[in-house]
Amino acid sequence: DVVMTQSPLSLPVTLGQPASISCRSSQSLVYSDGNTYLNWFQQRPGQSPRRLIYKVSNRDSGVPDRFSGSGSGTDFTLKISRVEAEDVGVYYCMQGTHWPRTFGGGTKVEIK
Amino acid sequence: EVQLLESGGGLGQPGGSLRLSCAASGFTFSSYAMSWVRQAPGKGLEWVSGISNSGANTYYTDSVKGRFTISRDNSKNTVYLQMNSLRAEDTAIYYCAKTAQLDSWGQGTQVTVSS
């Protein structure tokens, strides 16, 4: 199975400051169709997860543009340009290229 | 608007069975793959199983292979997860999600395995 490794585990951030989360995969996530199926999810406290980013860098509908995704191959990053209070929660990367799908362990974003 | 409504959770006995259902609306159900993801208490997300839009192809994480079966009824816009030989470590919130890339999620249903 593809192992997804996220860092850091915990990310205390000052409101208005940027935040960055790393996600690395144990194998390339480039699919045979040329796409890279790397997704990012946000889970706010007490809520279901929701997808923020798909195929590395595409924002889902309704996702603020302060969220951005980048990367290629096995190395990916989620950035929040200016953290707001509503961004508190746990963020997960997930590879959607190989079966079984696998998630990173999660990064908890909290306000300092 | 996409809506996914899970049901069927509850208390199951070790070695017993439960069947989860996920009723979908707001999209052409038969055109999309569907997935199940779980979250044990205080833990991260774990992908459990997926099924193609026709039901012809199914996928499982190793820990549930041979015990869980995913299926779907496109006439009822519903996907199922039959859970047999339940273990304590299956205790989790089970989420239904649309597509193999999990673009929309339900609210989840709690499964507790305990004697």
pLDDT digits (tens, 9 = 90+) for B50-104: 999 999 999 999 999 999 999 999 999 999 999 999 999 999 999 999 999 999 9
Test the B interface: residue of A51, A90, A97, A108 with most B CBs within 10 Å: A51
- Whether residues A48 and B95 touch (CB distance < 8 A) is answered with yes
pLDDT of residue A46: 97
With a CB-CB cutoff of 8 Å, which residues 5-34 of chain A face chain B? none
DSSP annotation of A101 = P
- The whole-number average pLDDT for the span A23-41 is 98
- State the pLDDT confidence band at A90, using cuts at 50, 70 and 90: very high
For residue A77, give both structure tokens. 């990053």
Cis peptide before A18, with omega less than 30 degrees from 0?
no
The answer to whether A85 and A100 are in contact (CB under 8 A) is no
For residue B26, give both structure tokens. 């707001």
- Whether residues B106 and A48 touch (CB distance < 8 A) is answered with yes
Residues pairing with B97 in the sheet = B35, B105
Please list every residue in chain B whose beta carbon sits closer than 8 Å to the beta carbon of residue A92. 44-45
For residue B37, give both structure tokens. 């993801």
pLDDT of residue B19: 98
Residue closest to A94 by CA, chosen among A29, A30, A31: A29
Q: Collect all residues with Cβ–Cβ distance below 8 Å to B78 and sequence separation of at least 6.
A: B21, B22, B23, B24, B72
Q: How far apart are alpha carbons B86 and B56 in whole angstroms?
A: 25
Please report which helix (H) or strand (E) contains residue A95, including its range.
strand A89-95
Q: How far is A55 from chain B (nearest CA, A)?
A: 9
